[in-house]
Structure 1
Amino acid sequence: MSRRAVLRAGLGVLAGGQVVLGLWVLLLPGLFWKWPWVSHLPPYNEHLLRDFGGASLALAVVLCAAVATMERRLVLTSLVAYLVSSVAHLLFHARHLEPLPAASAAGFMALLGAAVLLPAVLVWLAADGSAFREPDSAGATADSLRGSAGRSPGEGSSTGASSRARTSGERLRGGADVAPAAATRERLPRLAPPAPAARSAAGQGGVVRIRAAPGNDALCATPAHPNDAP
């Protein structure tokens, strides 16, 4: 069982105990008073008992919220509040055990001691931040770290550069920046290949004149005659 599960289960035990105790004292204070561990310290006071029941239910609300959210600050706050109450309760009854039989006093102190020990252990668990990490995110982080460790430093940087280059190339191929360049190429006149005579004249150092062919927007290259007008 993980730390998170243990912490949540312990908080649930504390919350459930406070719900039972609070409802019992708030709704049936007379019945609670008849318990020997309570009635050995008279007098009976309904007002104080009902107030104690309401306070126990209020603490139960905070503990239930901690169980539901498992938020670190709320969990620690609820546990510290429970510890303050249980430690004060233990210290008071430890000084007033005389009316109880030895066996009953030992059982009573064991119960009050457990009410201090359990939240103290839960505080220790809550102090470790790992108890508040989600299992899925922790596993994903570990897998990511193992994957990073398995690659060499150069591999990671080259992979990132290749990915960025592919992304830039796709953006250029599909973006609007290519359209003006393509339209410009369409507007340029097409240069027809030179005739064999033009290539021969150019190879012999002759002059080659480029002119438009009649009825065609393509340009053609022809050898220039010495008597041709420019």
Structure 2
Amino acid sequence: MAQLGKGIKILLVDDEPNIIQFLELGLLNEGFQVASATDGPEALHIAESFLPHVVILDIMMPGMDGFEVCRAMKDARPVAVIMLTAKEEVEDRVRGLTLGADDYMSKPFSFGELLARIHARIRNQFPQLMEKVSIGPFSIDAGNKELSYEDRILDLSPTEFELLKHLVLNHRQVLSKSAILDQVWGYDFGGEENIVEVYIRSLRDKLNDRERRIIRTMRGVGYRVDIR
């Protein structure tokens, strides 16, 4: 089981019980500490003692809406806010981001995408919480730039480390070559996408993944790490 969420607190705020239940079960399974609220005042009260790192916050709630809650949360303490809405209106997105929201998702959404966005917020705003992470057979020590598979430290170049770390942290997602280039090599990388294939081949060799069961090629889409 992944231990990526260990020690990380997430507060869910939504007036739809089925959404709360769905997210709570998934996040608890990932190892996060989870609290929930069905309205704004309750969320602010819980946050005072729970001290969440990430708040998943619905915009459309009766009474105190998500915009007001976001402003109050941001004024009180450092916290990452991911806002949810059933709308896709640009005005809502702009207003939320102006009030300090860190990310924005429209309903319906996949749990895997939300999880990836939570990981991104933690990496950016609370990197100390991700210094050492265990996910299935993988262990990542970001401070020492070490990555282990089945208790064996892999001999990786700096780029190989960053690539495998990115694949493992996003193991629920199929990652395209272009997305990998942006996140690992950087947006200003001027080389060819085929460089990703070269590094994937090298990682498979170091993982003894001859049958490609660890790093899967999803034809026409990209790559995904399988965690068993």
Q: TM-score, normalised by structure 1?
A: 0.23
Q: TM-score, normalised by structure 2?
A: 0.23
Larger radius of gyration: 1
